[in-house]
A and B are shown apart, each in its own frame.
Chain A
Amino acid sequence: MLKSAAYPFNTINGKDFFVRNFGLRFGFNGKEDDNEVKGQGNSQDFGSRIYDNRLGRWLSVDPEASIYPAWSPYVFVRDNPILRVDPTGKWDIEVHVYKDREKYGYGTAIVKDRHGKEVFRFEIRAQGTAGANRMKEDANTPLGTYDIPDQGMWKDGGSRKSYGPNPRLILDPESGEIKESNRDDIRIHGGRQEEYDEATGKWIDIKNPQLKKTHGCLRALDEDVATLKSVTDKLMKNDSKENGGKLTIVDDLEKKDGKYVIPDNSTGVPLPPSNDIKSTNSNTKKTGGD
């Protein structure tokens, strides 16, 4: 039985929690320990920089430091390792949901490019039909980190009503509740906002579509799924270093004045309430039937 616990910056008696307890070669943030300079588990090699987990600081400046001029270029994840991860060098998705999803089952997904710059934001439903116990199948979407595969990240759903006219974004469980629960097949998809006409092979819109509950997946409006695909495709087309990174789900939405807002401690300015957020590309047309 483990008697110790991981600390936010991975500091535990100067040892890497994951390496020490599980004998893993790759520990905190999935990075390899560099034991030669400062002893066992005291620094990790993140590729472009070395991280000292005793200090919670980098040993060299951030190559993308110009994006956050207010922050020291040596700071790790803007001093909030619970909420943030170090960008993977690929596009990532942050999903913010409310703690009690039986009260408020919606959330906001923010897509950021490999430099950490927001490129798209859309509303999702993260509420399952089986209720609040996220360890259970069909229940609310489990928190944690999911990997977006480099190859075959989008899968076509064909004429299946469940997913709608656009493909699904594949997410592989990596850490957190999703890994602990042994749940699988969690995706981002649209669906249930239209009818499929088999005779014509076309999708027919339903008036005033709602984001219906899922069986654990993240459901978005069809037009948002289409935009997500086009935005990320464009990122990868224009920048050869871009690829699918991670999707992280955190339950940090706060209720303020009857609205659900994303706290952003780095600027002190709350972002627009998630339940007021409209798709930034609301005029985007659906991609149509397959």
Chain B
Amino acid sequence: MILKVQIQIQKRQEGIKMNLYILVYTVLASISCSIYNIQKTIDACIAADKVTDYLDNIALNPKLYLTNQNDDCVFKLIDTLRYNSVLGSARSLEVLGLLYRNSDGEISEYFDEIGVEIFYSGFDVFANFIYLHRKDKTKNVEKMIIRGMSFEISMAKNRRMKREDLKKYILNQCKKYKYLKHKTDYLLGIEKQMNPSIFD
């Protein structure tokens, strides 16, 4: 009698185990299918044409929009995001920062130019963004600006003078946009982090 009960319990346990295996298998299969579909549909060319529709998707899979993609489309995507950022789109700037963090080789090199352009053409946008996200550990946008400007200084004939000019520019911009002292000091601190010797 006890043996029969034990066998029944064992069979039930096996049944539960089997159901669990099927459940886990189904979940894993659906996850891998959805990942495959995401990868399949990722196309930098399409995203470049409809950037605003793709911002969330790019933010979720920045690396996939950079690797194994047509170079021209990646550049177009980055240029469009840069353009929107300069016009005031903080979300575009944030996504640009994510792409910067995942870039390598020639694309990474191009981000140095992007950093310089945003510094000069979209000062208020990036200043507000990095000040607001100053406690964010990744600081993608801040790093992009610092590295870009480091590159700019490294190309200058007189680096010391270039740094002085940059300080003046930051102070003038801070006055223009009426930033408080704390924010101005924070932005001047960014200048101190610029290190042109990384390119030498």
What secondary structure prevails in chain A residues at the interface with B?
A: loop
B67 touches A214 (CB 8 A): no
Residue interface bits B47-73, CB-to-A below 8 A is 1, else 0: 000000000000000000011100110
- Select from chain A the residue with minimum beta-carbon distance to B147: A129
A214 partner, pick from B103, B109, B155, beta carbons under 8 A: B109
Nearest residue in B to A210 (C-beta to C-beta)? Answer: B200
- Complex partner residue of B105 from A183, A191, A206, A212, CB under 8 angstroms: A183
In the complex, what residues of B have CB within 8 A of residue A184's CB? Answer: 66-68, 104-105
Enumerate B59-94 residues with CB–CB distance to A below 8 Å.
66-68, 71-72
Contact of B198 with A217 in the complex, beta carbons under 8 Å: no
Which residues on B sit within 8 Å (CB–CB) of A170?
71
Cβ-based interface call for A15 (8 A): no
The distance from the CB of A155 to the nearest CB of chain B, in whole angstroms, is 6
Q: Is B190 an interface residue (CB 8 A)?
A: no
Interface range, B side: 20 to 34
Q: Give Cα A173 to B155, complex, Å.
A: 31
Inter-subunit contact A160/B110 (CB<8 Å): yes
User: A-B pairs with CB below 8 Å: how many?
Assistant: 73
Q: Among the listed B102, B105, B113, B154, which residue makes an inter-chain contact with A217, where contact means beta carbons less than 8 Å apart?
A: B105
How far is it, in angstroms, between the C-alpha of A189 and the C-alpha of B102 when the chains are bound?
A: 21
Task: Decide if A185 is an interface residue (CB 8 Å cutoff).
Answer: yes
Tell whether, in the assembled complex, residue B155 and residue A168 are in contact, meaning their CB atoms are under 8 Å apart.
no
How far in angstroms is the closest Cβ of chain B from A146? 11
Which residues of A160-179 are within 8 A (CB) of B?
160-163, 168, 170
Cβ–Cβ contact A162 & B106, under 8 A: yes
Q: Indicate if A221 sits at the interface (CB-CB under 8 A).
A: no
Nearest B-chain residue to A162, judged by Cβ? B109
* Shortest Cβ gap from A6 to chain B (Å): 26
> Is the Cβ of B71 less than 8 Å from the Cβ of A215?
no
- CB distance B155 to A185 under 8 Å? no
B108 A216 Cβ-Cβ under 8 A: yes
With both chains docked as a complex, state the minimum distance between the C-beta of A151 and any C-beta of chain B, in angstroms. Answer: 13
Q: B72–A137 contact, CB under 8 A?
A: no
Tell me if B113 and A160 are in contact (CB < 8 A). Answer: yes
Instruction: Decide yes or no whether B36 CB sits under 8 A from chain A.
Output: no
A213 CB-CB contact with B under 8 Å: yes
Q: In the complex, are the beta carbons of B110 and A216 less than 8 A apart? A: no
Q: In the complex, which of the residues A163, A192, A215 contacts B108, with contact meaning CB atoms closer than 8 Å?
A: A215
Rounded to whole angstroms, the CA-CA distance of A161 and B112 in the bound complex is 10
- Which of B103, B112, B155 contacts A137 (CB under 8 A)? B103
| Proximity bits, B129-159, A CB within 8 Å = 1, else 0 | 0000000000000000001000100110000
A216 touching B72, Cβ below 8 Å: no
Which residue from chain B places its CB closest to the CB of A182 in the assembled complex?
B67
The CA of A170 and the CA of B151, in the complex, are separated in Å by 24
- Asked, given contacts A161-B113, A162-B113, A170-B71, whether A129 binds B199 with beta carbons under 8 Å apart, the answer is yes
| Residue pair B112, A162 in contact (C-beta under 8 Å) | yes
Chain B positions within 8 Å of A, measured between CB atoms, are: 66-68, 71-72, 102-110, 112-113, 147, 151, 154-155, 198-200
Ranked 5 nearest A-B pairs via Cβ: A185-B105, A215-B108, A137-B104, A162-B109, A216-B105
Q: List 26 A-B contacts (CB under 8 A).
A: A129-B198, A137-B108, A160-B110, A161-B113, A162-B109, A162-B110, A162-B112, A170-B71, A183-B104, A184-B104, A185-B66, A185-B67, A185-B104, A185-B105, A187-B105, A192-B155, A192-B199, A195-B155, A212-B154, A212-B200, A213-B198, A215-B106, A215-B108, A216-B104, A216-B105, A217-B105
Q: A185-B66, A185-B104 are in contact. List 16 more A-B contacts (CB 8 A).
A: A137-B108, A138-B104, A138-B108, A160-B110, A161-B113, A162-B106, A162-B109, A163-B109, A182-B67, A183-B105, A184-B68, A184-B105, A185-B67, A206-B155, A213-B198, A215-B106
